[in-house]
Amino acid sequence: MSRRVFLSRHIVFWIFFTILGIWGQFFLPGTDFFTPGLVVLVQFGFLNAAFWLGCLWMLLLEGTGNLAFGTIILYYAGLAMAYSLAGVFFEARNVLFMALLFLFLAVFKKALVLVMAGMQDLGQSVFMDAQSVLVQFTVHLILWMLTYHFFNKYIMHELVRRKKPVA
Amino acid sequence: MGWVIKPGVRVHSMAQEFWESYVYLVDVHQENRELRRELDSLKLELAARSEKAAFAERLEELLEFTSPPGWSSSGLRVVAHNYGPLGVLESVIVDKGRLQGVSSNMPVVAPEGVLGRTYKTGLNFSTVLLLSDPNSRIPVVSSQSRTPGIVVGQGQNNSLAVQYVHLNAPLQEGEYLVTSGTAGIYPKGLPVARVSRVERSEIRLFQLVEAEKLVSARDREEVMVLENITKLRTDYLDFDGIIRDFSGEDRLMGEPGVSGF
């Protein structure tokens, strides 16, 4: 498979992921669907793509949210820090590692929104509830498993399988 | 011979009958398939037409709404509710923004009453803060006893609270609460809620009043935004209190026909 085909598949995959994420957020208000995509990109070493897609998703989330600009930047900074720190102690593709990371992120996101809303005098609408944290954790974990599986199967493995043998 | 031929004839006629009925059944089967396909397409068409009829009914309902004097209305379509991980407010996203003339703090209404106000506006979409959000506060007055109060949201599934109602105010259950027009955002007289509970207690400074909202955001697909037309003229008001209209004539505030605010 040529690099151009690989790139176009890559792009189609992430466009599809973004559309599904937008619809997911429509059906589950208050839940983030994009973080597992970022994690998968980082796990496979596509740091440039992670950066640009992260910027795109950040604009999307900040634009549709009710809080002042900056919350998602802090959230993604927290994600990067947690991933790097935890990566020192765990194998980065381990399911247990991912479960712990997403549990931390679910609590961190809620706490961050709580603090940011409080700073903007909107604190009365937000409260820390276990249900939304649990929903976010479950969505992240399941979505990461699916994204990792499909990305690995249709984007990464295709590259190897279709490689012409050297004569 | 008869004994030999008769079974043969019988077998032949049975075979013929079977063949004909089989061929016939094949035809019936094909016809059945075609009819089913036709039925499916008719079902789809019926669903589309029913949806169109319901949409037309809702639009008709919206068209019956007459804007308050000095205000103009335009239709909006609800796109999403509390969208995204940062959608912390009780809000809906509507399909018009700054490019279509929507700015923040514009009243959003339905024919039954007030839904909320525009909170944040993008180029083509806006966020509407609903009545039920705890950050929403609307000054109201009761329709019969003219008791003033402030309607405050308490969350999606809870009733609205009416604050600062004096202990001796003659507010009754079932009374409608309408906008008082004092805050400058909503025009006077728009229905907001209906009083569902009034409790007077000597240990409180104010009555404990609850009200049910008249419009549920979950059920609305189309709403209207109101624009204050007269407010635009304040742009032409200079420090002398003189309004410069488009004809070039200067008129003092308070003169007949001058509606600055």
Distance from CA of B42 to the nearest CA of A (A): 29
Q: Do B84 and A124 touch (CB under 8 A)?
A: no
Minimum-distance CB partner of B135 among A30, A67, A125: A125
CB A9 within 8 A of CB A155: yes
Chain A contact present for B2, CB below 8 A: no
- CA dist B154 and A124 (Å) reads 9
- The reported pLDDT for the residue numbered B240 is 46
Question: B85 vs A30: CB contact, 8 Å cut-off?
Answer: yes
Judged by CB atoms closer than 8 Å, whether chains meet at B127 and A109 is answered as no
Candidates A66, A116, A143: best to mutate against B (most CBs of B within 10 A) is A66
Residue B8 pLDDT more than 60? yes
The ipTM, to two decimals, is 0.74
Q: How far is A64 from chain B (nearest CA, A)?
A: 6
Q: Is B120 on the interface with A (CB under 8 A)?
A: yes
Q: Do A25 and B135 touch (CB under 8 A)?
A: no
The amino acid at residue B147 is T
| Strand, helix or coil for residue B118 | strand
Written as six digits, the tokens of B117 are: 């106000």
Nearest CA in chain B to A63: B122
Higher pLDDT, B125 or B64: B125
Determine phi and psi for B137, rounding to 5 degrees.
-135, 125
pLDDT on residue B46: 86
Select from A106, A30, A41 the least CA-distant residue to A75.
A106
Specify the 3-state DSSP secondary structure of B203.
coil
Q: How many helices (H) and strands (E) does chain A have?
A: 7, 0
Q: What is the mean pLDDT of residues B80-95?
A: 85
pLDDT band at B246 (very low <50, low <70, confident <90, very high): very low
Q: Which residue of B has its CA nearest to A68?
A: B86
Cβ atoms within 10 Å of B152's Cβ, excluding its own: 20
DSSP-derived secondary structure letter, A123: G
Specify the DSSP class assigned to residue A33: -
Q: What is the pLDDT of residue B242?
A: 46
Q: Is the pLDDT of residue B245 over 60?
A: no
pLDDT at A147: 95
Interchain CB distance below 8 Å, A66 and B135: no
Collapsing DSSP to helix, strand or coil, B138 comes out as strand
Query: Measured between CB atoms, does B127 come within 8 Å of chain A?
Result: yes
Select the residue of B81, B127, B134 nearest A125 (Cβ to Cβ): B134
Q: How far is the C-alpha of A138 from the C-alpha of B256, rounded, in Å? A: 66
Report the pLDDT averaged over residues B66-95.
84
**What is the amino acid identity at position B158?**
N
Q: For A62-71, B141-150, B206-215, which range has the lowest pLDDT when averaged over its residues?
A: A62-71
Q: Which residues of chain A have pLDDT under 70?
A: 1, 92, 123-125, 158-167
The confidence score (pLDDT) of residue B195 equals 94
**Do A64 and B87 make contact, defined as CB atoms within 8 angstroms?**
yes
Q: Which residues of chain A approach chain B closer than 8 Å at the C-beta?
A: 25-26, 29-32, 60-67, 71-72, 109, 113, 117, 121-122, 124-126, 136
More confident position, B185 or B27: B185
CA dist list (Å): B30 to A64, A107, B22, B24: 52, 60, 12, 10
